[in-house]
């Protein structure tokens, strides 16, 4: 059976596990410590980053967007529409969600790995400005939640889950539409809600 090497708190890991579950692709989950990587993990991804999707043949597929595209092909387009315009819309939403996560992780890692006196607050403020601008745009026009969703909506739910985990109380104010969107997503797809980022 394929395996997903992941971290419970990682939004990219959450996205991939949610996408595989939604696409109906069975997999085993293996929590992986990137700070103390095993040789097997580095063999699957020499970059030492998660998530990694390990196929039945032992091939490691990495970068979460490469994994969602692989899952889409394996499931015959369960995650991304065939229609070019609709597919572009879904891929753009996934890219926006991932971009938000990139900025959020810059915050987390800056504070986790740098001494207090070396933290570059101006740079962190610039990253947070990107996050708030993207969230405001999403709140203005939240993605639809039809019966059949895409990898884009899944990526956004994973991102909002990470925000709630690491930045609770700092992103919700003034974004009631996004908060309601999250609640509706979880009500419609409870099997995915349980896979959002966890400490």
Q: What's the pLDDT tens digit per position in 103-142?
A: 999 888 777 766 777 768 888 889 999 999 999 999 999 9
Name, in order, each residue with C-beta under 8 angstroms of 14's C-beta and a sequence gap of 6 or more: 158, 161, 162, 195, 196, 197
Say yes or no: 110 and 168 in one domain: yes
SS3 of 6, please? Answer: strand
CA-to-CA distance for 172 and 164, rounded, in angstroms? 9
Average pLDDT of span 148-162: 98
- State the DSSP H helix or E strand holding residue 41, giving kind and residue range, or none if neither: helix 39-44
- In a domain, residue 198? The reply is no
- In a domain, residue 122? The reply is yes
The pLDDT value given to residue 111: 74
> Per-residue pLDDT for 192 more than 70?
yes
- In a domain, residue 178? The reply is yes
Say yes or no: 69 and 156 in one domain: no
The pLDDT value given to residue 106: 87
- Domain with 171, as residue range(s), is 84-193
- In a domain, residue 79? The reply is no
Say yes or no: 65 and 102 in one domain: no
Domain boundary among 52, 74, 96: 74
> Per-residue pLDDT for 193 more than 80?
yes
Please provide the average confidence, as pLDDT, over all residues in the chain. 95
Say yes or no: 106 and 38 in one domain: no
- In a domain, residue 140? The reply is yes
Query: Residue 128, class by beta-carbon neighbours within 10 Å (0-12 exposed, 13-18 middle, 19+ buried)?
Result: middle
Say yes or no: 94 and 183 in one domain: yes
Domain boundary among 74, 93, 121: 74
Q: How many domains does the chain have?
A: 2
- State the DSSP H helix or E strand holding residue 162, giving kind and residue range, or none if neither: helix 151-166
What pTM value is reported for the model? 0.95
Query: Residue 165, class by beta-carbon neighbours within 10 Å (0-12 exposed, 13-18 middle, 19+ buried)?
Result: middle
Say yes or no: 52 and 119 in one domain: no
Say yes or no: 95 and 25 in one domain: no
Could you tell me the maximum CA-CA distance found in the chain, to the nearest angstrom?
A: 51
Query: Residue 145, class by beta-carbon neighbours within 10 Å (0-12 exposed, 13-18 middle, 19+ buried)?
Result: middle
Say yes or no: 88 and 64 in one domain: no
Say yes or no: 67 and 88 in one domain: no
The pLDDT value given to residue 84: 98
Say yes or no: 69 and 159 in one domain: no
The pLDDT value given to residue 99: 98
Average pLDDT of span 183-192: 98
Q: What is the pLDDT of residues 43-99, one digit of tens each?
A: 999 999 999 999 999 999 999 999 999 999 999 999 999 999 999 999 999 999 999
- Residue entry with tokens 């990219």: 12
CATH code of residue 21: 3.40.30.10
Say yes or no: 188 and 141 in one domain: yes
> Per-residue pLDDT for 176 more than 90?
yes
- Residue entry with tokens 């919700």: 172
- In a domain, residue 179? The reply is yes
Domain boundary among 25, 53, 74: 74
């Amino acid at each position: 059976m394929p395996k997903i090497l992941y971290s419970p708190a990682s939004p990219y890991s959450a996205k991939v596990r949610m996408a595989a579950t939604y696409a109906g692709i069975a997999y085993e989950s293996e929590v992986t410590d990137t700070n103390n990587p095993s040789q097997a993990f580095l063999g699957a991804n020499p970059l030492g980053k998660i998530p990694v999707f390990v196929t039945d043949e032992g091939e490691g597929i990495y970068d979460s967007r490469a994994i969602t595209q692989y899952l889409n092909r394996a499931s015959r387009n369960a995650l991304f529409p065939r229609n070019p315009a609709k597919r572009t819309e879904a891929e753009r939403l996934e890219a926006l969600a991932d971009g938000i996560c990139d900025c959020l992780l810059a915050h987390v890692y800056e504070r986790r790995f740098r001494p207090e006196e070396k933290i570059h607050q101006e740079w962190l403020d610039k990253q947070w400005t990107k996050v708030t601008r993207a969230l405001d745009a999403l709140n203005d026009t939240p993605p639809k939640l039809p019966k059949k969703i895409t990898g884009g909506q899944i990526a956004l739910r994973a991102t909002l889950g990470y925000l709630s985990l690491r930045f609770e109380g700092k992103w919700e104010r003034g974004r009631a539409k996004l908060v309601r969107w999250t609640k509706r997503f979880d009500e419609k797809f409870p099997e995915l809600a349980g896979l959002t980022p966890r400490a």
